[in-house]
Structure 1
Amino acid sequence: MKQFILALARLVYRILFKVEIHGIENIPSDKNFLVTPNHLSNFDPPLVAAFLPVDMAYMAKASLFKVPVVGWVIKAFGAFPVKKAGNDMSAVKLAIRILKEGKPLTIFPEGRRVKTPGVLGEGKPGAAMLATKAKVGFLPVGITARYRFRGKVVLTVGEYIDISEYTEGRLSSEDLQKLTDEVLMPRIAELAGAKTYGN
């Protein structure tokens, strides 16, 4: 069922938009990773799920699972719910377990949509926390898109980011934010063609 939904999503996206995919060769075949795209629109998660040739899990807002059709589709994609309010430790533990078991996971580091062209939101430390605890690297992804009929949508996969030097010992919240700000977000900004990121 999942493969059928993904194939259908690819067909629909190619009808609606002019989709370009770059950097597929950068997806590692010998190590696990956390997929970290920038976030422009609600169209982004299906785009990543449908066009990256990787069997992944996804973290999605719990409220989306209550939306008719949408909830069914994202569940078919392999998403699991995360409560927006507060720290959802059960979801965090599940995400870490999935990564440790060798299955890639997708999370949007900005934690929200940023619709302004050329601007990324401030990266939250959640992605860095998951990656360091599970001892996996980042697979940065940049999305540039005009989500209108026959608008150009480009998804670019960057090179794997090894963070093994950060996975030994306990990192403070400041350390995780520094890893996000200095290592992860600049690479995503480059792939997304964004000149700035932050608040």
Structure 2
Amino acid sequence: MNFYTFAKGVVKGVFSPLYRIEVIGKEHFPKDGGVLLCSNHIETLDPPVVGITAPRPVSFMAKAELFDVPVLGKIIKNLHAFPVKRGMSDREALRTGLKALKEGNVLGLFPEGTRNKTGKLGKGLAGAGFFALRTKAHVVPCAIIGPYKPFRKLKVVYGKPIDMEPYRESKASAEEVTEVIMNHIGDLIRQYS
């Protein structure tokens, strides 16, 4: 058993009963090939919650500062996370993300870039559209519907993959594609709230 599988089991054992996590739409998740998994971001616990509910291992971009924290840095690295420098175009992080998708792995992104404390869906950053347009990865929208309160139900909803071909053919911009992805996430939030 590798560290990811072990950690997933431990976290699932604690979080699932504590937050009464209900997973909807898992059947939409592609069984193989690259997957760009895009979710809203409501709480710091979102990455582990997506990690334990997704049917396949997920690599996340995490802010570079976290990798400098003793112990935590080593743990998140062993959970397939990789650093991204926020507030600027981080070419190394973009290359790492593209490589993960092209190798058939799952890349998890929170297109809003940071937690949205208002509970409303914020504007997505162009990175999600960049990855969607530059690879043939399946793009799966995900909605986390809270609140994170002990013993209150928390929903994680996986939507059907978004067909990106029309956007690739029409040479849509990364910003336009990110907006499409955010609209799909918004639809899931409205449908299941």
- Which residue in the other structure is 1:197 paired with? none
- Residues 160-184 of structure 1: CA deviation (Å, up to 9, x unaligned): 111022335865xxx2212222x21
- Which residue in the other structure is 2:69 paired with? 67
Which deviates further from its counterpart, 150-159 or 40-49?
Answer: 150-159
- Which residue in the other structure is 1:101 paired with? 103
**What's the CA shift for 1:31?**
3.9
Determine the C-alpha separation between the residues in 1 that align with 2:177 and 2:170.
14
Determine the C-alpha separation between the residues in 2 that align with 1:9 and 1:45.
11
- Residues 65-113 of structure 1: CA deviation (Å, up to 9, x unaligned): 2234433332232110101131110110111111111111111111111
**1:120 partnered with 2:117:** no
Secondary structure, counterpart of 1:36 in structure 2: strand
- Paired residues in the alignment total 189
Contact (CA 8 Å) 1:5, 1:73: kept in 2 or not? Answer: no
In the TM superposition, structure 1's runs of 4+ consecutive aligned residues that sit over 4 Å from their partners are 168-171
Matches within 5 A, 1:178-197: 178-181=176-179, 183-193=180-190
Determine the C-alpha separation between the residues in 1 that align with 2:43 and 2:53.
16
- In structure 1, give the amino acid aligned to 2:190: G
Determine the C-alpha separation between the residues in 1 that align with 2:109 and 2:123.
14
Contact (CA 8 Å) 1:6, 1:77: kept in 2 or not? Answer: no
- Which residue in the other structure is 1:88 paired with? 90
**What's the CA shift for 1:18?**
1.3
**What's the CA shift for 1:56?**
2.3
Q: Cα RMSD (Å) of the superposition?
A: 1.8
> TM-score normalised to the size of structure 1?
0.87
Determine the C-alpha separation between the residues in 1 that align with 2:67 and 2:49.
18
Runs of 5+ unmatched residues, structure 1:
195-199
Q: Percent identity of the aligned residues?
A: 36
Determine the C-alpha separation between the residues in 1 that align with 2:53 and 2:156.
9
- In structure 1, give the amino acid aligned to 2:74: W
> TM-score normalised to the size of structure 2?
0.90
Note closer, same or farther for the CA distance 1:2–1:31 as it changes in structure 2 (3 Å cut). closer
**What's the CA shift for 1:30?**
4.8
Matches within 5 A, 1:1-199: 1-117=3-119, 119-168=120-169, 175-181=173-179, 183-193=180-190
Note closer, same or farther for the CA distance 1:185–1:165 as it changes in structure 2 (3 Å cut). same
- In structure 1, give the amino acid aligned to 2:52: A
Secondary structure, counterpart of 2:121 in structure 1: strand
- In structure 2, give the amino acid aligned to 1:143: I
Which deviates further from its counterpart, 79-88 or 34-43?
Answer: 79-88
- In structure 2, give the amino acid aligned to 1:42: T
- Residues 140-175 of structure 1: CA deviation (Å, up to 9, x unaligned): 00001121222321100000111022335865xxx2
